Amino acid sequence: MPLRIIFMGTPEFSVPTLAALAEAGHELAAVYTQPPRPAGRRGLDLTPSPVQREAERLGVPVRCPTTLKDKAGQEAFAALGADVAVVVAYGLLLPRAVLEAPRLGCFNGHASLLPRWRGAAPIHRAIMAGDAATGMMVMKMEEGLDTGPVAMTARLPIGPDETTGELHDRLSTAGAALMVEAMAALEAGRLALAPQADAGVTYASKIDKAETRIDWSLPATEVHNRIRGLSPFPGAWCEFEAGGRRERLKLLRSTMGEGKGEPGTVLDDGLTVACGGGAVRLVEVQRAGGRPVEAVEFLRGAKLARGDHLP
């Protein structure tokens, strides 16, 4: 028998899992997602989440509570009579009453190799730390932050120049397939759970604005990992001189370069920049108010030359 599922998710990352569960023939009792957000120039338009749009396309009822801590909301959740809740980047903490309401519990699709990178920004943090691999995990949820026992894992290598945006898309696809596999095993009564290791716990805290400005005095590997780990959002940045004034430059893609010099110094005509140790070559950048362009196109208009300095 197909499972009766409550799906809980919000961003684009969650959409493939929702679609895959529907395609697998499970009964979707309801979709919980974050409320529509203000959009437009004046913030007067309300934009539904990507998950809400997908749920509406599938014809699944949508609920957008601002909290699940109230008794009425918890009772409404329990009244759905779900076998299981599937949670992928929902954005609200689930209290015990919600976690215990579905007959078989709540299962989370998390984008890291737990217990490494528990928390809010596991994809960013894995790349920023220079990890060689990450993955998707399906775990049974507990009240702790990403502490529950693990059911299934899909391990993915991280390319040396891969960005968070690129890895995000690969993990999203892998997570959808893994969750469908996990729910099939759960339905058949053969989903095994293993506790997470006590060693190796790290936390993926939200990205702070102070982290986004590039410090060229750091080693080149750290600068490169920072650039690709923050791309495309929120985006690493530096400044450069343009027409006698400083302008912000968003750094979207880089690779390891050759050469050395004073940190922040442009070393060649290909936008290789010296770091505290080694150098990085900027591959794709974006001027304020402009579009992303290759470094060679940027240099035609910016007139940065060898020996110039990026503060």
The reply, when asked if residue 113 is annotated as ligand binding, is yes
d(CA 153, CA 175): 9
Instruction: Tell me the C-alpha distance between 17 and 151, whole Å.
Output: 16
- HEC-encoded secondary structure of 152-209: EEEEEECCCCCCHHHHHHHHHHHHHHHHHHHHHHHHCCCCCCECCCCCCCCEECCCCH
Spatial separation of the C-alpha atoms in residues 119 and 121, rounded to whole Å = 6
Report the alpha-carbon distance of residue 117 to residue 202 in Å, rounded.
5
Does the annotation flag 112 for ligand binding? yes
Task: Sort 245 into a burial class: Cβ within 10 Å, 0-12 / 13-18 / 19+.
Answer: exposed
Q: Which residues contact 8 (CB under 8 A, 6 or more apart)?
A: 31, 32, 33, 85, 86, 87, 88, 90, 94
Say how far apart CA 111 and CA 166 lie, in whole Å. 13
Cβ density class 186-215: b for 16+ within 10 Å, e for less: bbeeebeeeebeeeeebebeebeeebbebe
Q: Is 114 annotated as a binding residue?
A: yes
**218 assigned binding-site residue:** no
Strands (E), the chain: 4-9, 27-32, 37-39, 45-47, 62-63, 84-88, 106-110, 118-119, 133-140, 150-157, 203-204, 236-242, 245-257, 272-274, 279-287, 293-294
- Which residue numbers belong to the known binding site for (6S)-5,6,7,8-tetrahydrofolate? 112-115
Residue list, annotated binding site: 112-115
